[in-house]
Amino acid sequence: MFGSRSDSLNITAELLGLSDVKVNDVRTNLSAREITISVERTRKNIPCRQCGEPTKPHDMGRKLRLRHLPMFGKETIIEIIPRRGRCEHCDGGSTTTETLNWYDANRKLTKPLEHHLLFELVNSTVADVSRKADVDYHTVDALINRYIETEIDFSTIKALGVLGLDEISMKKGYRDFVTLITYRIDDKVSILGVVEGREKSNVIQFLRRIPHHLQKTISAVCCDLYDGYMNACKEVFDKTIPIIADRFHVRRLYRKSLVNLRKSELKKLKAALTAQEYSDLKPAIALLRKQKDHFTDEEKSVVEPLFSLSPKLKQGYQFSRELSGIFDSHITPEVAKEKMTKWINNVSAPELNCFNQFIKTLVSYQEQITNYFIARNTSGFVEGFNNRVKVLKRRCYGLSNTTKLFQRLLVDTMGMVRFAPGVTAF
């Protein structure tokens, strides 16, 4: 391609976001898919890398071509030939190559582009960012290790607010668990740590690392209904910090009971009905799979044929909706306890045993479950917490180890702020 000099294009170093350089030359090729900008360092003195004294001009280093932020949608290359200086003070006359803070000589990208790629990585994947930016996969992946710490730096945190402990499996359907520890201030959920497994001892080990002054800023701990977590929190934290089983943890359990009921009832119906009759129920089955608590009038008419064939299923859904209704009400823990006891009695009355296992959990974790009602009334505890964690969890699938997982979640939760354009001056 023939290069053409563009005299009318007046690009300044300021516009490029690069300090301590001036633009010498801007070239675009005929197909105009690439812009090459030659720059030169404005400060002439090069302090010796050994003694810091000014050096005498010596020669030039090799020409560097660095990918920069795309301009006008075109791939943009910054060219610079670093000068070298020779020291008159140091033995052997050591040479020093000039440096600038917006690139590393052994990298192929400018730092503003690296920050931009990390920004793009928020809630995205390395593969996606690599493809869209046309930067190879390993270059993008390596940025994570260079820029993102492998464990939390407690000194960067002022307060923890609501602490969350959740178990997750790294691969969908697999049973190798890790523990996700998050914290929520106002409405923002951030990652604190990822712990291997979900054993109490591992969790305790992590929780003990939280500095004492930060432990004092914990207003509540919200965790999965799991003895290991509950007991770890009780051992480490002050008794005054309430431990809460969030309604979503509870809901997950009673919805699971409902799913089991649905499967067994459908199996019976499939055996009893003709293929056509069963096929006619498909819209109703699809609707039940959506795990909704409430049906619109239109949806009710869709599920009604199925419910009339299986009164048990209808009853199961009614009880599930009732329980969700209790969680929806703004009531005190005492009133919640009463309502739940009544619910348990009602469910136990008919020949409906799908909730038996769940009821055991409801009884043994009654305190933590009803603590939800204190938390939501006093500390503005909202459902957003778990929805956010749910999004984080989905991001965990396919990541190979806890360190990598922590780094990716850190990018997701703070990358928007840390790598936003203009946050760092180069």
* Buried residues in 101-110 as b, exposed as e (16+ CB within 10 A): ebbbeebebb
Binding part of the chain for Zn ion, among 45-53, 182-190, 247-255, 298-306 by CB under 5 A, reads: 45-53
Given the complex with Zn ion, which of 46 and 64 has the nearer CB atom? 46
Smallest gap, in angstroms, from Cβ of residue 148 to Zn ion?
Answer: 36
* Shortest Cβ 84–Zn ion spacing (Å): 13
3-state secondary structure 162-191: EEEEEEEECCCCCCCEEEEEEEEECCEEEE
CA distances from 220 to 63, 122, 199, 207, 300 (A): 57, 28, 21, 14, 39
Distance CA(377)–CA(239), nearest Å, equals 20
Nearer to Zn ion by Cβ, of 39 and 48: the residue is 48
Question: 255, exposed or middle or buried, with CB in 10 Å at 0-12, 13-18, 19+?
Answer: middle
**Among 166, 122, 28, 21, CA closest to 81:** 21
- The residue range among 40-48, 72-80, 246-254, 361-369 that interacts with Zn ion, by the rule CB under 5 A, is 40-48
For residue 307, give Cα distances in angstroms to 282, 301, 315, 347, 352.
13, 10, 9, 18, 15
Quote the least distance from Cβ 156 to Zn ion, whole Å: 37
Cα 2 to Cα 28: distance, rounded to the nearest angstrom: 9
45 vs 401 by CB, closer to Zn ion? 45
Q: Binding string to Zn ion for residues 216 to 255, with x set by CB under 5 A, is what?
A: ----------------------------------------
How buried is 271 (Cβ within 10 angstroms: 0-12 exposed, 13-18 middle, 19+ buried)?
exposed
| Size of the residue set binding Zn ion (CB under 5 A) | 6
**Count of C-beta atoms within a 10 Å radius of residue 421:** 11
Is the CB of 52 or the CB of 325 nearer to Zn ion?
Answer: 52
Please give the residues from 101 up to 160 whose contact with Zn ion meets the rule CB under 5 A.
none
Dump strand ranges (E) for 154-298.
Answer: 161-169, 177-185, 188-196, 218-223, 243-244
CB of 48 to Zn ion, least distance (A): 3
Instruction: Find out whether 219 and 244 touch, Cβ atoms under 8 Å.
Output: no
User: Is the Cβ–Cβ distance between 121 and 148 less than 8 Å?
Assistant: no
Nearer to Zn ion, 46 or 207 (CB): 46
Q: Is 46 in the site for Zn ion (CB under 5 A)?
A: no
Q: To the nearest whole angstrom, how small is the minimum distance from the Cβ of residue 90 to Zn ion?
A: 3
Note whether 87 binds Zn ion by CB under 5 A.
Answer: yes
Per-residue binding string, Zn ion, 360-399, x by CB under 5 A, is: ----------------------------------------
Q: Which x/- pattern over 332-361 shows residues binding Zn ion (rule: CB under 5 A)?
A: ------------------------------
Joined tokens for residue 360: 């055991």
Q: Which amino acid is at 96?
A: T
Options 90-98, 105-113, 375-383, 415-423: segment touching Zn ion (CB under 5 A) = 90-98
Does 90 help bind Zn ion (rule: CB under 5 A)? yes
Give the nearer residue to Zn ion in terms of CB position, either 87 or 352: 87
Question: In the complex with Zn ion, which residue's Cβ is closer, 86 or 314?
Answer: 86
Subset of 47-86 contacting Zn ion (CB under 5 A): 48, 50-51
Among 89, 131, 171, 394, the residue binding Zn ion under the rule CB under 5 A is 89
Binding footprint of Zn ion on the chain (CB under 5 A): 48, 50-51, 87, 89-90
